[in-house]
């Protein structure tokens, strides 16, 4: 995603947190080779949508998963724990 490439990943908890289906990439059901191949085929046959997903993925990584974003997340967590 940080390279402006859309992703196709297995639909598992960590991936679900990162990928916005249809916006930054595609989720394929686990252990479903047919669904995975269909997702790959879709990416190959939809170049404009693929490029848009890549751009949106890069923006999401920069915004939500940057060092500054993580630092802010942990700072809020520690403040909430200190005030408990």
Residue 46, CB-side half-sphere exposure with 13 Å CA sphere: 15
Q: What is the pLDDT of residue 74?
A: 87
Predicted local confidence at residue 34, as pLDDT: 97
Taking only the tens place, the pLDDT of each residue in 22-59 is 999 999 999 999 999 999 999 999 999 999 999 999 99
Name, in order, each residue with C-beta under 8 angstroms of 57's C-beta and a sequence gap of 6 or more.
1, 4, 5, 6, 7, 23, 24, 25
- What integer pLDDT is reported at residue 54 of this predicted model? 97
Containing 9, the helix (H) or strand (E) segment is: strand 7-10
Using the predicted structure, report yes or no on whether residue 2 has a pLDDT greater than 80: yes
- Give the predicted TM-score (pTM) of the model: 0.78
3-state secondary structure of 20: coil
């Amino acid at each position: 995603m940080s390279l402006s490439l859309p992703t196709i990943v297995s639909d598992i908890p960590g991936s679900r947190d990162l990928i916005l289906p249809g916006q930054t990439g595609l989720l394929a059901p686990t252990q479903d080779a047919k669904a995975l191949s269909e997702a790959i085929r879709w990416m190959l046959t939809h170049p404009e949508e693929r490029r848009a997903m890549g751009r949106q993925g890069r923006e999401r990584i920069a915004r939500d998963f940057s060092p500054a974003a993580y630092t802010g997340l942990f700072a809020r967590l520690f403040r909430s724990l200190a005030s408990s």
